[in-house]
Structure 1
Amino acid sequence: VRIGAGVQIADIENHALLSERYPAVVQAARGIAGPSHRRMGTVGGNLCLDTRCVYYNQSGWWRHANGYCLKAQGEICHVAPQGQRCHAAFAGDLAPALLAHDAELEVAGASGMRRMPLGGLFVEDGRAHLNLAREEIVVAAYLPAVAHKSAYRKVRVRDAIDFPLAGVAAALATERGLVTSLRVALTGTNSRPFLLEGTDALRGKPIDANSLQAIDKLVQKQVQPMRTTIVSPQYRRLAAAAMACRLVRQLADEIGSTS
């Protein structure tokens, strides 16, 4: 399935085929901002969303009074003054849902067109988080024909409009109650959305307390929330892990009830 970068987010949330085969993508689209934003915003725009931080997303006079920051006009990251990079967090919703479904990206530039895994678009640097040449643009996202049961969930300050403090997408396939494929992707905690590493170890195992504990540990180890929002990093770490476990448990239950 090809989704053009210029497709409005509102068209995604009401798409019958996507709802049936790639539910995480539709759920992510439905949770983005408000209805008017979704009618104006596009798939490409949400994928290329700028990173966010309480020290950056302020008025000019506020940033000037605080000496600016590494992301804009300054020389230090106020979140990590001894660090060497910007820790502003990526907060797009569509990226983790597409990552969970192993999507690919089509990019166009002066040198022509190229395809790459969606994860290759992002870099763990809040100041330069997109792996695009200066003249390149995102053209489309491609979802594989084989689709697994999926879902998306996020936590935010207000349950409307706000960007995710942490968001999780998961796609699960099982056979006779045992995992054959599990992909978990996260947003809102790091400078890039990313696919959770280590879930391959759960292949051939049931989704039980031990598997969920393993997922919890993987998430808590790999997310890197910093004080880029009004909520503590530890809350976002724990919330991300809890949501991942609940999503995987939910998907396993849904698969079990229909098999």
Structure 2
Amino acid sequence: MSERIGLFADLHSNLEAYEACMTRAEELGVNRMVFLGDIVGYNADPVAIIDRIAELVEAKKAIAVLGNHDEAIYKDSHKQMNASANTAIEWTKTQLKENHIEFLKNLPLIVNEEKICFVHASAQNPADWNYVTDSMSAWHCAQHSGKNYTFVGHAHEQALFYQSAVGKLIRFAPHPGDEIPVLQHRQWVGVVGSLGQPRDGNPEACFAVFEPETEVLTFHRTPYDHFSAAEKVRRAGLPEDLANRLITGK
């Protein structure tokens, strides 16, 4: 069976979105999973999300990289975040056991394979958590990864950057469900969007599927019970704006 890689980023402790995306990925024939950081933060199910991903990683069915919210669990880097994000980090710390924290601590910043780079933020100084949002930041990311394909999270909206004939990376807005030919003679940077906290006005969860052999990338949106996820946020005593963001997708 040819490899189909599921790409999931910015899960942010959203169990309802996670389970919906896992079900959809299985229907699509995904046989390898990559979690592109920010496993925790913002939402109400950090333990369940870490447990599920740790089990997949241990079984060699998935790889995961470190995100800035994951790092904030064991470092003081979250002091630079906004008040709601900071509150969610402090709450998440109260929920986790030592094995959950150790799992996050052991996540790599970046994973490089023969033709693919997986990283949460830009491959340019990944520990600085720079966003890939425009042609210049995508170019820097691709140059530092040196790979045909670089897949990132961090920015919560889906985008694809492709290398033009003169080397510049051009932004493309993918349409969910469309198969995009991503031929390896170019460099590509795919921003897979957020599974756990979309911010483009559509509350449906984001992920993508990459098929290396056929050189095809498909972005997906998956509906889930975002009202239940939002209610969990409220019951946990987390900021109201985090619950509202799940409902509005903004």
Band of TM-score, shorter chain: under 0.3
Q: TM-score, normalised by structure 1?
A: 0.23
Kindly indicate whether structure 1 or structure 2 has the higher relative contact order, using CA contacts under 8 Å at least 6 residues apart.
Answer: 2
Q: TM-score, normalised by structure 2?
A: 0.23
Higher Cα Rg, which structure = 1
